[in-house]
């Protein structure tokens, strides 16, 4: 009869993870982290919170933006799935500093602040322009259908 190494699924293991090390330079998640924490002005969200003297501490908009943008880049748009990713995926854990915002918090953040999101998008475009990432030749918005009256030759 063959011998196999002993294994036991009912055992505990402690794994040490430095979340900063998970955001490796040159990756998209590192770019999101750097952009949000170093380049964007997130003070536009400060007036929206009124929990200075009472109330529960809120999630930092930088954390919520980081996980939402990374999730959207991966095609994940469900706030419940984003919450699940924050519980199970090490990159989401790194971006959220091992916090797990409830799915309703994520959904409310996305839907409550469209004006602020527009301002952030403008900041991102200006930063991309400063860094030379925009070619200034073509600007396209996905899903936007426009009527055209031009022939191919033109």
**Per-residue CA distances from 21 to 13, 29, 52, 147 (Å):** 20, 12, 33, 48
Let me know: does 19 contact 94? Beta carbons within 8 Å. Answer: yes
Residue 141 DSSP code: -
CA distance 47 to 145: 36
What is residue 95's predicted lDDT score, i.e. its pLDDT? 95
Mean pLDDT of successive 10-residue stretches along the chain, which has 154 residues? 84 86 89 89 83 85 91 91 96 94 93 81 79 66 60 60
The reply to whether the predicted model has a pTM over 0.85 is no
Name residues whose C-beta falls within 8 Å of residue 36's C-beta, 6 or more positions apart in sequence: 42, 62, 65, 66, 69
What is residue 83's predicted lDDT score, i.e. its pLDDT? 97
What is residue 141's predicted lDDT score, i.e. its pLDDT? 58
What is the b/e burial string over 54-73, where b = at least 16 CB atoms within 10 angstroms of the residue's CB? eeeeebbbebbbbbbbbbee
What is residue 137's predicted lDDT score, i.e. its pLDDT? 67
Residue among 107, 63, 100 at smallest CA distance from 84 = 100
């Amino acid at each position: 009869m063959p011998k196999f190494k002993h294994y036991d699924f009912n055992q505990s293991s402690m794994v040490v993870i430095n979340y900063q090390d998970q955001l490796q330079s040159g990756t998209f998640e590192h770019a999101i982290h750097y952009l949000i924490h170093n380049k964007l002005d997130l003070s536009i969200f400060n007036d929206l919170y009124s929990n200075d003297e009472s109330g529960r501490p809120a999630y930092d908009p930088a954390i919520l933006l980081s996980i939402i943008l990374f999730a959207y880049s991966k095609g994940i748009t469900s706030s419940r799935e984003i919450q699940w990713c924050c519980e199970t995926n090490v990159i989401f854990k790194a971006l959220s500093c091992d916090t797990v915002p409830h799915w309703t918090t994520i959904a409310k953040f996305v839907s409550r602040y469209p004006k602020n999101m527009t301002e952030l998008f403008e900041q991102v475009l200006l930063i991309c322009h400063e860094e030379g990432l925009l070619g200034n030749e073509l600007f396209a918005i996905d899903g936007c259908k426009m009527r055209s009256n031009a022939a191919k030759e033109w």
